[in-house]
A = this chain, B = another copy of it.
């Protein structure tokens, strides 16, 4: 399904304004109506006031999908790999959801490029939901919006949800806290693998994918990663990250990626780790929502004159920021 589908006139039936309309919308999503799925994700993404009602209606379906995170630096071929992985998973008979998370542009408040040309391959496949996400509007940011979108896709009957993130750094950490299995994509000649370690990626990767493996330097990249894995050995009883080569643009190595995901999934179940990850994820989600509420309360002070007055004093050197923060918190508690 393409993102555009939700804009198709729908006899007003996806227009949901009241909490009591939510259960019907969720029921339609469960029945496989793509417009209902799209509408729910939009509500989730925009941090709609209906979110608590949506979350409540979706709660029973928690943990039903396998959540796979895909991350890596710009240019390593994440979209192409995701696209091919969707094809492979479809061939196995899975229903697949894809959330492509674009960092919100901080000043305009929106993802600049929402369109994902390559994904058009699956635009007419009713067993695939594809969605670009931005975190604008959502109180808890990406950390809260994405898990809710995953819940929508779980509710809609997806067996596998792929969450693709752009960038290196905080986003990866959030993917790791969200996913059952985290894939980190690298490509030869994109800066050496040491850079990946620098960003803390080694510790979140369950599977390393060296994409564009037909390029010069692929062997060196694989060796570097294996060296780092050996150095960072997590001990007996711990998962040892897999390294897989692919040339996603030619569809090569995709089955190996799918096999590595399956293997990790098996390991998670066998070691009781899946359950632990799901609980940790729920805890992170609750915290993100709670922090989002607190942040909104602070934000409401920002719109007023209190924070501006404190900031002027700090910028002038008349007040230190810790004392100013204390003042702000006192005002918050009033």
Q: Residues on A close to B: CB < 8 A?
A: 51-52, 55-56, 58-63, 73-76, 102-108, 111-113, 147-148, 166-171, 173, 176, 189-192, 194-200, 202-204, 275, 278-283, 285-287, 289-291, 293-295, 298, 302, 307-308, 310-312, 314-325, 328-329, 332
Contacts and interface: CB of A to CB of B under 8 A. Distances in A.
Given A106-B173, A169-B170, A52 B147 contact: no
A154 to B, nearest CB: 10
B323 A112 contact: no
Chain A interface mostly: helix
A311 B284 CA distance: 8
B291 A314 contact: no
B291 A191 contact: no
A119 to B, nearest CB: 15
Given A106-B204, A293-B329, A199 B315 contact: no
Contacts of A112: 197-198, 200, 202
Given A283-B311, A307-B283, A321-B289, A168 B329 contact: no
Contacts of A318: 59
Contacts of A319: 59
16 contacts: A56-B320, A58-B320, A74-B199, A104-B200, A106-B204, A107-B200, A111-B198, A148-B321, A166-B168, A167-B167, A167-B168, A286-B321, A287-B325, A287-B328, A290-B298, A290-B332
A282 B308 CA distance: 9
A289 B325 contact: yes
A173 B105 CA distance: 9
Contacts of A279: 308, 311-312, 315
B307 A113 contact: no
A298 B291 contact: yes
Contact of A194 (B61, B113, B287): B113
Contact of A51 (B113, B197, B275, B322): B322
Contact of A302 (B192, B282, B287): B287
